[in-house]
Chains A and B, each alone.
Chain A
Amino acid sequence: MIPHRAGAAGAFALLLFATTACGGGSGDSGGSGGDGELNVMMYQDSLAVVQKNAAERFNENHEDVEAVVNEVPGDGYEDKLRTVMGSGQSPDMFFNWGGGSIEAYVDQEMLLPLGATLQENPEMEEAFIPSILEAGKVNDTQYGIPLRGTQPVMLFFNEQVFEDAGAEPPETWQDLLDLVDTFKDEGVTPFALGGATPWTEQMWMQYLVDRQGGYEVFQRIQNGDSEGWRDPAVLEAAETVQDLVDRGAFGDNYASVSYEEGGASALLSEGKAAMHLMGSWEYSTQLADAEEFAKEDLGYAAFPAMPDGDGAPQAVVGNPTNFFSVTDDGDSEAEVDFLKQTYTDEYVQDMVENGEVPTTDNSEEMIEEHSPNPDFATFQYRMVRDAPTFQLSWDQALDRSVAEPMVTEIERLFNKQVTPEEFVDNVAALQ
């Protein structure tokens, strides 16, 4: 009964007016020089306090510029960003995921390349783990500086369920397959999976392709060659997915389990599922929803190695970190000053105290001293530090016009609505 047609049409029209009004939307307003305000657009959650504290410290040292952190609610952050960037009301700098999440802005030449900034400030380049900084590049040009902790995908498990079954966490692929049978016999779902939010299914594909074919396979796709999907590793990974489904690795109702509503995490904490492949934020999710379980029985391990796989067994996938990008308005002195905040001791300590695992090279001592959960944080830090490559989540690495339909294809692969061969054809056809 709601007039969606009129609403959507109105939104299109407003966007159109806005873009034509600013003559091509080169994002030339809201500059930091004129009005003395440095507008920082930030993803709103409990961790944004770190950036707000940084803004306060920045303001104490700068009399002529005032940094203002605008927090935008997480749900719809990307849509809001696209709207403000398209309407010429762009912020001076903004939070993003790197890769495909900023590619459209790079194409429109709205962002400031930061290569020169890194050269002028060598301490900035040296402050971060190289593979993490690398993830802030688009087309081999630096456009993002890390601003948050790292978020690798890892294998979480319920220690109590493992103990009851007399099982050990998997180290090899065969271990993992054996565990599927073990837990099926126990009447426990081997892996929790939130198939109603298919980006969680994507994590399996990411690890399988990375372990089978190596980092280069998806890099080729990420760099715009959609024929990269026809690499044998992708087909093999797709076949492995359906093999896991047939073995009952995810139970039989994963297609309607939602991660965002906490369904998948609850399966793990209540012992209905033994394992859960998820980003490192699963730890804080469990801490919030099932505190006792998180402190007593939540185990974690790396994704096992594949037999005969070409990929490095220590490679990780997930979100290397989040980045600050600067919009190009001719005067970037204040923005660069603000970027220097992101590796100060105060900033890093703030992150650690909020449970994050920073991506700077002084993190390990910080974690030991200040982390609320040093064991988990150290495990995570070493996992990322020792990883030869860190593949950014596929849906963030690709432009949205390709990423969203790709995630749907992965969902259809898991639901067996397509064969592995059809999956490869379908994703290769996305442009």
Chain B
Amino acid sequence: MSVVSPNRDGRPASTRSRARAAAGGARPGAPKAGRPSAWWGLPALLFFSLFAVLPMVLVVYLSLTSWGGLGSPEFIGFENWARLAGDPVMHQAIMLTLLLTFGSWATQTPVAMLLGVWAAGRQRNRAVLSAIFFVPLLLSSAAIAIIWRALLDPNFGPLAQIGPMIGIPGLDVLSSESGAFLVILFVSGWQFIPLHTLLYQGGARQIPESLYQAAEIDGAGRYRSFWHITLPQLRNTVTTSSVLMLVGSLTYFDTVLIITGGGPGHATTIVPFLMYEAGFENYQYGYASAVACVLVAVATLASLLMVRFTGFGSMRSTREGM
């Protein structure tokens, strides 16, 4: 960090403009040449307004109507919202979504971090094994879901064949409510851990070797090095990865659609799936829009909270004091 530079009128720059200066923005007194004009942002802004902001506004309007996709939407005020508030399926869907979001975060983070840190090292065969670990990242969600659905088939899947051999007949996880939910949790982990591993690998590679050398001289073992050097140094990576995980699991959909179809019963009907079901299967676009609004609100809130409480917004460097 440079020393606080005075403005032209001699007052010290505010914290806010200091942050902007650090981000390479409007540094007071800098020559205007080479600074892109705000007009460059216009096309992106237009597209964003047209394809993100406008549809969101329309969805808010649709949530106040009754509409089956034919004719004009009929304005019904807050009827959909009242129904939403009293719908037991919605209550369960919100619980399941929160459970899935937290469960994904709690299981994927440690595994991805350990794998990532390991993959950043220089062990033998590391490159080959890392490549294998990353395979799920290369497959599309739909393909992954179909593969796991086939593997878990209670009559013809490999599990059903192996189960009786090792003395567990009827290894049928998808039939039970908790089993189906755990399958979704597991498959989503299997699919997304590689992505986060990649983030942690990158983060771990950025940690200066000298820190570990110093720790070694001071007599720290691998466990202490990890706890006191690697983990604190990965602070920003944890935040990035967690925001991606939280927002990602809030909008999780394809695996649920293909593996369980929201069932058995409503056991895996999470909010995004409920939205799909209400809109595209039951043709209740008004109600589905209300569900969509809730989802947008919750996802935005979750991201904001994450950024607020992890100090991600201030972009503190892990290298401070070095």
**Interface residues, chain A, with chain B CB atoms under 8 Å away:** 1-6, 8-10, 12-13, 15-16, 19-20, 24-25, 79, 82-83, 85-86, 104-105, 108, 110, 195-198, 252-258, 261, 263, 266-267, 272, 400-401, 404-405, 408, 411-412, 415, 417
Contact = CB atoms under 8 A, between A and B. Distances in A.
B265 A9 contact: no
A10 B279 CA distance: 13
A410 B170 CA distance: 24
Interface stretch (B1-9, B26-34, B150-158, B217-225): B150-158
Contacts of B281: 400, 404
Interface of B: 51-52, 54-56, 58-59, 62, 68-73, 141, 149-150, 152-156, 170, 172-175, 177, 180, 192, 195, 244, 248, 251, 253-254, 260-267, 272, 275-277, 279-285, 288-289, 292, 295-296, 299
Contacts of B149: 258, 261
Contact of A257 (B154, B277, B279, B295): B154
A7 B70 CA distance: 20
Contact of A2 (B253, B289, B299): B253
B290 to A, nearest CB: 12
Nearest to A110: B70
Given A5-B292, A400-B282, A400-B283, A255 B70 contact: no
Contact of B70 (A9, A85, A408): A85
B44 to A, nearest CB: 15
A265 to B, nearest CB: 11
Contact of A255 (B59, B174, B244, B254): B174
B192 A10 contact: no
B253 A4 contact: yes
B285 A104 contact: no
B156 A266 contact: yes
Given A9-B59, A19-B73, 6 more contacts: A1-B141, A5-B295, A15-B285, A16-B58, A16-B62, A256-B175
Nearest to A6: B52
Contacts of A405: 282
Contacts of B296: 5
B172 A253 contact: yes
B227 to A, nearest CB: 31
B261 A8 contact: no
A253 B175 contact: yes
Nearest to B169: A252
B263 A198 contact: yes
B154 A12 contact: no
18 contacts: A3-B251, A4-B251, A5-B251, A8-B292, A12-B62, A12-B285, A16-B58, A25-B72, A108-B70, A198-B263, A255-B175, A255-B264, A256-B172, A256-B174, A261-B150, A401-B284, A415-B264, A417-B265
Contacts of A196: 174, 260-261, 263
Given A82-B69, A263-B153, A6 B172 contact: no
A108 B69 CA distance: 11
B265 A412 contact: yes
Given A8-B275, A24-B72, A25-B70, A79 B280 contact: yes
B69 A83 contact: yes
Contacts of A6: 51-52, 55
